[in-house]
Every structure is written in C-alpha cells, then in structure tokens.
Amino acid sequence: MTVTLAIVGRPNVGKSTLFNRLVGRRAALVDDAPGVTRDWREGNARLGDLEFRVLDTAGVEEGEAESLVERMRAETERLVQRVDGAIFVIDARAGVTPFDREFARWLRRRGIATVLVVNKAEGDAGQAGVLDAYSLGLGDPIPVSAEHDEGMSDLYDALRPLVDAAQAPEPPPEPESEEARPLQLAVIGRPNVGKSTLINRLIGEERLLTGPEAGITRDAIAIEWRWHGQRVRLIDTAGMRRRAKVEERLEQLSVADALRAIRFAEVVVLVLDAQQMLERQDLAIARLVEEEGRALVLAVNKWDLIEDKEAARRKLRERIEESLPQLHGITAVMLSAKTGRGIERLMPAVLSTDEAWNRRIPTPALNRWLAAAQVQHPPPLVKGRRLRIRYMTQANVRPPTFALFASKPSELPDSYRRYLVNLLRADFDLPGVPIRMMLRGGKNPYAEKKD
C-alpha cells in the first residue's frame, strides 16, 4: 500500500516549494503572495529510497463563517483525517504563531502522525524559530530550506519510520498497456463559468473548492477518475481572461499553467456561460485549442437559466459557423453543473470526439474520395492548365493530418484546400476536430517502383 502524506500549514510557509522539491518538478505554483494554493494537489514523492504520495494543501488560517478562507481550512482538515500522516510546515523566520499552536493542538487531539518541518531555516535568522518549534509538542522539529534543498537528509530520517509503519508490501505493478492509459481531459474557460462545479458534478464529490468568487482555482489540478471503466485524468484549470486584463504575476502564472494543460491534453472541454455564449475570449481560447491540435468539446453551462432555448441554440450555431469555421460541426453539450441536468451527455461527447481525433482513414478510401471530390469540384486552372492533384495519404493522427501531392502545390488556392477539408470532415465523420492538410509536390512517393 502506498503511504499518503499531506503537507499542511499556514499560507506562505513554503508548502508548495516543499511539495515541488519532493516530487522533483515544478508541479505547484509558487509565489511570494500568500494563499496561492487553494485546491489540494497530489504527486508521487521520492526522498532517497523512500517513495510515497504527497498532497499539497491550501494554507490553513481563520476566517469568517462561509468565507473562502474558512472553506479552504475545512477542506484541508477533512483531507488530513483521510491520509496516513501529515508534514506540518511552519516558517522559521516568522516563528511559532498562535495559529500554529492551535493547529498543532488539533493534530495532537486527533492522533494524526505528524512530522514537524521548520522551513526557511537557512542561516542564523531561522535558529530562534527552530528552537521555538519544540513548544508545539510534535516531537523534534526538522529544520529545512525547501528552496535551497537543505535539510532533506534529516527529513528523510524523520519520514522513514512513518512511511515504514504505514507501508505494506505489494506486488510490483504490471506495465501499463496503451489501452490502459488514462484519457487526458482538460477543462478550461473564462473565470466563474463553473469549471470546478462541473468537475465536482462529474466525479460525484466536492473535490474542488467552489463558490461565487471569481478566480478561486489558481493552479491546474489533476484528478484521476473512472467513467464506466474508462480511466480519465481530469485537469481543472484557472479561468483565462483576455491578455490585456492579466496584470498580476500570480494570474500570469495561473494562465501559463492552464496553457500547459491544453498542450498536454488530448480532449479539451471549453466551458461556456449560457448567458454569455462564445464571447471574444471564448473564441480566442477555442482558436488556441485548435492551433494546438487538441480535440474540443463545448460545455454550455447554466443552461437551466435560459428561457428561450431554441433561440440560444440558433445563436450558438450561427456564432460557430461565423467565427470558428475551422471547427465546423463541433459538439456542444447543453447542461447545468449546478443541477446536474444534461451532465450525462458530456462524457459520451468527449469519447466520440476523441475517437474522431484518433481516426485513421485507409489510403485507398482516401484516394477514391479524392477522385470523386475533384469530379464534383475540379481544381482551378493555372495558366490555362488544370492543376493536377495526384495522391493523398494520412500522415498522422491526433489531430488527423493529411499529405496532398499536387503538380504545383504552391498554386493551389486556400479556398480549394478549405473545400477539401470541409468535405473530408463531412464524408469521414470528423466533426469539430482540427484537420491538418499539407501540400506536397512531386510524384506519388507510395507508387510502386518499376524495374
């Protein structure tokens, strides 16, 4: 059994820096501003020969009832009681605060196995904080500097008994087959359109922090999930505003994290607000997904608030045809993340789009289709002679990519290439996925060579 430990403590004590150090990469956003982490994230940690799961949690502090701060604290406390132990981090330079003492008492009362880490202990400035930490009653404090990779051997010694006590031998995992790999599914959109609420509804639990405040989610949070036996890696992302409005460094980091999630996704769900569908920023995000070659599905949230649904559908179709012709036929699922209505149609749409994104068309079928397409609409004349398109083959999938061999590829108008792409999309059932068509000159490279 893999041991799971939660990193806990006040905001800005270095929990995310320690998390990144343990997992060996920059998995969590780190900034000088307090309270960067709001939803917990998990990763595989390695310290010497110790291997365990580690959770980065939101900073715990007191807040007013029902406030975002209080909801974050309650979520962290619930999480700590479900794991094997805690790594309680305090700031050596700030010393032990009254809230550190209160949270230490909370850990002791519940009998949670805890390793006390005093971060930012490099130099003389942190020595007083290390000595003060003994008063918390959680055993010997471990002075470290997560940023400078100091004190990790002492942390190893402290974690070793805790990991060994909770671990049980398990058989080595079988290597994953290609079919067993999870579908990488990113959920993106403008702030406050309901992305986290949608994910919570999909997985059937309040995994992500939600609320009326815009911009609650800051980092890209990955969640392992199964839908009818299909493994899915859901990635919740921060809301993406127009670049001109993104001024704070923290929001810039959040948007960069969302962009990385898009690049590594296979299917992207763009969540729209049904009351403000496909605004300028929505279109910009959709075009970005298309440029990255990812498969895209639209989730039109808050559909329960729309009175004239037929008029809204018509407006959405017209907007897509006018502003997103490169994603013609894209699937739009009308739903309400709050009530759950329509949510059951989202994952079938995602898997259908993923299948189209991975589709490979046999070369003979492509060339029969190409011949018929040229009969239906012949290529244009170039200097009085008909341009010849000799051959076509699919060069790649994810997204579907085709190579078109023509006598003078540079002379083929963009309008004729768009004609071929649109016809290809319709005839081979490739709705809403990006299609790449590369023009090549010369003879058919796949033709048999004569002796």
Q: Where are the domains of the chain?
A: 4-166, 178-357, 363-440
pLDDT computed for residue 223 by the predictor: 86
- Percent of the chain with pLDDT strictly greater than 70: 80
pLDDT tens-digit map of 161-178 = 888 765 555 545 555 544
pTM score, whole prediction: 0.66
Tell which residue, 213, 182, 208, 204, has the closest CA to residue 195.
208
pLDDT tens-digit map of 132-161 = 999 998 889 999 998 899 999 999 999 988
pLDDT at 45 over 80: yes
pLDDT band at 110; cut points 50, 70, 90: confident
Topology agreement, domain 4-166 and domain 178-357: yes
pLDDT at 228 over 70: yes
- The length of the chain is 451
Rank 209-218, 279-288, 331-340 by mean pLDDT and report only the highest. Answer: 331-340
pLDDT tens-digit map of 54-79 = 888 876 655 555 554 466 566 767 77
pLDDT at 308 over 70: yes
The CATH class of 4-166 is alpha beta
* pLDDT mean across residues, the chain: 82
pLDDT at 11 over 70: yes
CATH topology of domain 363-440: GMP Synthetase; Chain A, domain 3 (3.30.300)
Q: How far apart are the first and last CA of the chain?
A: 64
pLDDT at 227 over 90: yes
Which DSSP category does 276 fall into? B
User: What letters, b where the CB count within 10 A reaches 16 and e where it falls short, cover 260-272?
Assistant: ebbeebbbbbbbb
pLDDT computed for residue 10 by the predictor: 85
The CATH class of 178-357 is alpha beta
